[in-house]
Amino acid sequence: MTAPSERQRIDKWLFFARVVKSRSLAAKLAVAGKVRVNRVKIDQAAYQVKPGDVLTITLERRIVVYKVVLPGGRRGPAEEARTLYEDLTPPVEAVARSAGGEREAGAGRPTKRERRQMERFRNEN
């Protein structure tokens, strides 16, 4: 493991922290502008992060906020990866389902009963 005061490339850190499955995916994420370091959008995989930096990472279906605690030394088990960061991601509030037919993201297709309720609601207005 490297000393805590050292800097590390963002693509390596994302890979070691198990944010993405491969280093090439981490590099693509950084180059695509989907990573912010201390609120500044980066566009290089070679950007150097250090302990104390706050990363805002836009993934497919969610946004995560991590504070860098340590640079990574290897891609180890998940328990080891969790020591590299502090999770600052705000909790996702459960969206209350209303009579208007709003559904939680990823809830799948509505059932027949839910579809009829939505139809009735739309026809009443």
Going along the chain from its start, the domains and CATH numbers come out as: 8-87 (3.10.290.10), 93-125 (no CATH)
pLDDT value, residue 3: 53
pLDDT tier, 21 (very low <50, low <70, confident <90, very high otherwise): very high
**Contact at 8 Å (CB) between 87 and 106?**
no
In the block, residue with structure tokens 């290089």: 44
pLDDT value, residue 103: 61
pLDDT value, residue 76: 92
pLDDT value, residue 71: 94
What are the CA-CA distances from residue 57 to residues 96, 115, 118 (Å)?
26, 35, 35
pLDDT value, residue 17: 96
| pLDDT tens-digit map of 33-74 | 999 999 999 999 999 999 999 999 999 888 999 999 999 999
| pLDDT tens-digit map of 70-124 | 999 999 999 999 999 999 998 876 434 444 556 677 778 888 998 999 899 888 8
Residue 36 phi/psi, 5-degree rounding, is -120, 135
Q: Give the 3-state secondary structure of residue 94.
A: coil
What are residue 49's DSSP bridge partners?
8
pTM of the model: 0.70
pLDDT (average), residues 29-36? 95
pLDDT surpasses 90 at 26? yes
